Structure 1
Amino acid sequence: MSNPESFIQEVTEEVRRDRLYAYFRKYGWIPALIVVGVVAGTGWTEWSKARNAAQAQAFGDAVLDALDLGGAEERRAALAAAPASGAQQAVLALLLASDPAEDRAGSLAALEQLAADGAQPQSYRDLAVLRRVILLGAEMPVVDRRALLDPVAAPGRPFRPLALEQLAYLLVEEGRTEEAIAALRSLTQDQQAPAGLRGRAGQMIMALGGDVAPAGDAG
């Protein structure tokens, strides 16, 4: 290669480098902003998931507590005070309009509709399944109640301990006392289960003539 050609190539390379550096100085903030956006977006998504799960759990617990109150007026007041936002408000309105003490058939129909509504969050649908099974009681065959409760009792579902409690009661209803005691004993040691539920499980074990702790664990 002749000297003039070599000189032209070197100048061309310098111009390319200068132009590239200029681009970096001018537009280098764009990839940095993208990286920051990706990191921030991931963090926001995880935080939102955790927040939504906590809100769903708090709402579900408040609704269950309210529905277990004795008087219709007390139930309505407790439901009205339940922490609700977004889709929860629609579910709450449905529950407020369907009081089992005054309109049992309407309440059961509303719960069945909510449980089957795929547009609603799974936690609300699970809640509807639980409440409907409890309300129906022996009116629904044990096999049908178990079929409804089994998915709600799956690991990771928000109302798993409550579903396990109801499944244990089905064992009692079938006369399978030892199996029921074993299931209830597991609940007394389940850290996901609320303290009140663990207490109920212990009381039921004693009522069935069992020990809360296995014999090998005594002392």
Structure 2
Amino acid sequence: MTDIIRDIDEEMRRDALLSRVRRYAWVFVLLVVVVMIAVAAIYFWQDRQARLVRDSATELSAAITLGETDAAAAKAQLDALAADPNNGNGIIAGFESAELSLREGDPAAAAASLDALAQARGQDDPYGQAATLFAIYTDLNTGDPAALLAKIDALITEGGAFTELAMDMKAQVLVRDGKTDDALAVLDALLAREDLDRELQARAEILRTGLGGGSQSN
């Protein structure tokens, strides 16, 4: 009798389990479908990103090659690539555009390309700061002093990667603008900095001496 009751109990439990499985089977099916969709979406996104990178590299290569025969058209393509902050090759495109302008003897256009790249990347981006620095350097002897000083001051920050180079350029712009005393003050501040690059220190010393400020060492 006990065995019969046990068998009946097991049958009832098995039936209850099967009933629950049938009742919630759609949940398991849904989970499988969701996982499959997620995997497919990830694969699609990765494939799309890879294709975008390949297409971007192809566009960059084509624009650089075009520069050998049609500089204006090449610059237009390079500047378009540089203007897209999401384009991984935008940085290269911006500098290539500037170099193309310099080869064409147009430093103002080179500076404009670098300024556009810096704007696209943002002032907090290291590449954007580098683009600004090169734009200043390109336009150092011909650009408007006030405009140059505004760009330079944005690069002079505590612990900034380009602070010392920017201070050196600021002194040069101030000299060109006839502000000798201000230039000497900048040079003094630059030379007072710890662990100053030797080449930069030597250049600052030469400029300071030439301005009548005498010699100074750290």
The TM-score with structure 1 as length reference comes to: 0.50
Pairing 1:102–2:103 present: yes
Is the contact made by 1:161 and 1:192 (CA closer than 8 Å) also made in structure 2?
Answer: no
Within the candidate set 134, 146, 151, 2:154 is matched to 151
**Following TM superposition, by how much is the alpha carbon of 1:202 offset from its aligned partner in structure 2, in angstroms?**
0.5
Offset, 1:106: 4.6
Q: For each residue in 1:167-208, what CA deviation from the matched residue of structure 2 results, as whole angstroms up to 9, or x when unmatched?
A: 112221232223322321221232253221111001111111
Q: Moved runs in structure 1, 4+ residues, more than 4 A? A: 87-90
Contact 2:119 2:128 in 1 (8 A): yes
Are 1:123 and 1:157, in contact at CA under 8 Å, matched by a contact in 2?
Answer: no
Residues 130 and 163 in structure 1, CA contact (< 8 A), matched pair in contact too: yes
User: One-letter code of the match for 2:91?
Assistant: V
Match of 2:115 in 1: 112
User: How far apart, CA to CA, are the structure 2 residues paired with 1:111 and 1:192?
Assistant: 29
Matching residue's letter, 1:91: I
> What does residue 204 of structure 1 align with?
207
Name 2:135's counterpart in structure 1. 132
Q: 2:167 aligns with which of 153, 164, 168?
A: 164
Change (3 A) 1:119 1:161: closer
Instruction: Kindly provide the amino acid, as one letter, of the partner of residue 196 in structure 1.
Output: E
User: What CA distance in whole angstroms lies between the structure 2 residues aligned with 1:109 and 1:141?
Assistant: 13
Is the Cα–Cα contact under 8 Å of residues 97 and 113 in structure 2 kept in the other structure?
A: no
Contact 2:205 2:215 in 1 (8 A): yes
Tell me, in whole angstroms, the C-alpha distance in 1 between the residues paired with 2:177 and 2:94. Answer: 33
Instruction: Output one character per residue of 1:10-60: Cα deviation in whole Å (capped at 9) or x when no partner.
Output: xxxxxxxxxxxxxxxxxxxxxxxxxxxxxxxxxxxxxxxxxxxxxxxxxxx
Q: How far apart are the structure 2 equivalents of 1:139 and 1:168?
A: 15
- State how far apart, in whole Å, the 2-side matches of 1:107 and 1:198 are: 28
Question: Aligned partner of 1:145: which letter?
Answer: L
Once the two structures are overlaid, the 10-residue window that deviates more, 122-131 or 96-105, is: 96-105
For this pair of structures, how many residues does the alignment match?
A: 130
> What whole-Å deviation, never above 9, does each CA across 1:62-89 have from its counterpart, x for those lacking one?
xxxxxxxxxxxxxxxxxxxxxxxxx886
C-alpha displacement at 1:117, in angstroms?
Answer: 1.2
Q: Is the 8 A contact 2:122 2:128 kept in 1?
A: no
Sequence identity percentage:
24
Report the equivalent of 1:54: none
TM-score (norm 2): 0.50
One-letter amino acid of the structure 2 residue matched with residue 101 of structure 1: L
Superimposed CA distance per residue, residues 103-131 of structure 1 (whole angstroms, 9 cap, x where no aligned partner)? 33552232012110136862211111122
2:144 pairs with one of 135, 141, 144:
141
**Residues 120 and 213 (structure 1 numbering): CA distance in 2 closer, same or farther, change over 3 Å?**
closer
Matched-pair contact (CA < 8 Å) for 1:150–1:163 = yes
In structure 2, the gaps of 5 or more residues are 1-86
Matching residue of 2:39: none
Alignment check: 8 A CA contact 1:115 1:129 kept: yes
Report if the CA contact (8 A) 2:140-2:173 is conserved: no
Query: Partner amino acid for 2:150?
Result: A
One-letter identity of the residue aligned with 2:200: L
